[in-house]
Structures are given as C-alpha cells and as structure tokens.
C-alpha cells in the first residue's frame, strides 16, 4: 500500500525515469559503502518488480528501461564478483521484464 501511494504521489514532483535514476544511484552508493552488496540490490529488484506490476506503462519509456538494464548489469556483476547476489539472478528474468513486454 505504501509503495503504490509513494509511486502515485511522486508523479506530482518527479518523472518516473528521474525517480528510478535517483533510487538506483542511492542503492549503488549504499552497495559501495557496505560490505554486503546483496541487500540493497535485492530491495531494488523487489521495488522494480512491484513497480512494473503496478505501473507497467512507466516501463515503456526507454529512459526507465535504461536504468533497469543498468541495475540488472550491476546485480549480475555483483554475483560474478562473489558478493552474494544469488537471489537477484534467480529473480531477474521475470523481475526485469514488465508483463506487457513478455
């Protein structure tokens, strides 16, 4: 319920691609600052998954999808570097593909 209200209200102040860009940048900063890189990325994957189900038209914008691709690349890179992002890779195919793109 909070996520829906946040995403809906945020549209009054910021465009979806800018919001995702800021959230992604904050997550990347937290991943670099902490030793456990999995937790912020798994939360971001969950956010993108719920966002794409709630507001699928946001993901028709190439600027939004560009951020999603960057997040996916960082998650896979983190796993390849043995930083513990196994859950992210398991969830990534369905989580990063909005239902209307399937």
Q: Centre a 10 Å sphere on the Cβ of residue 83 and count the other Cβ atoms it contains.
A: 16
102 assigned to some structural domain: no
* pLDDT tens readout for residues 73-96: 887 877 776 544 455 445 555 555
Within a domain: 101: no
With respect to residue 51, please indicate whether it lies within any of the assigned structural domains: yes
Give the distance from CA 43 to its chain's centroid: 8
State how many domains the chain has: 1
pLDDT tens for 26-63 read 988 887 777 654 567 788 889 999 999 999 999 999 99
DSSP per residue, 63-81: HHHHHHHHHHHHHHHHHHT
| DSSP designation for 98 | -
- Does pTM top 0.85 for this prediction? no
- 14 lies in a domain? yes
For residue 73, is it within any domain?
yes
Residue 100 lies in a domain: no
Residue 66 lies in a domain: yes
Determine the structural domain holding residue 85 and report its residue range: 2-95
């Amino acid at each position: 319920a909070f996520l829906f209200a946040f995403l809906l209200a945020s549209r009054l102040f910021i465009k979806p691609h800018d919001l995702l860009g800021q959230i992604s940048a904050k997550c990347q900063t937290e991943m670099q600052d902490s030793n456990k890189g999995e937790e912020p990325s798994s939360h971001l994957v969950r956010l993108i998954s719920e966002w794409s189900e709630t507001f699928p038209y946001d993901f028709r914008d190439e600027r939004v999808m560009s951020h999603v691709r960057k997040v996916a690349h960082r998650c896979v890179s983190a796993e390849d570097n043995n930083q513990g992002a196994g859950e992210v890779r398991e969830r990534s195919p369905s989580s990063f593909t909005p239902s209307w793109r399937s």
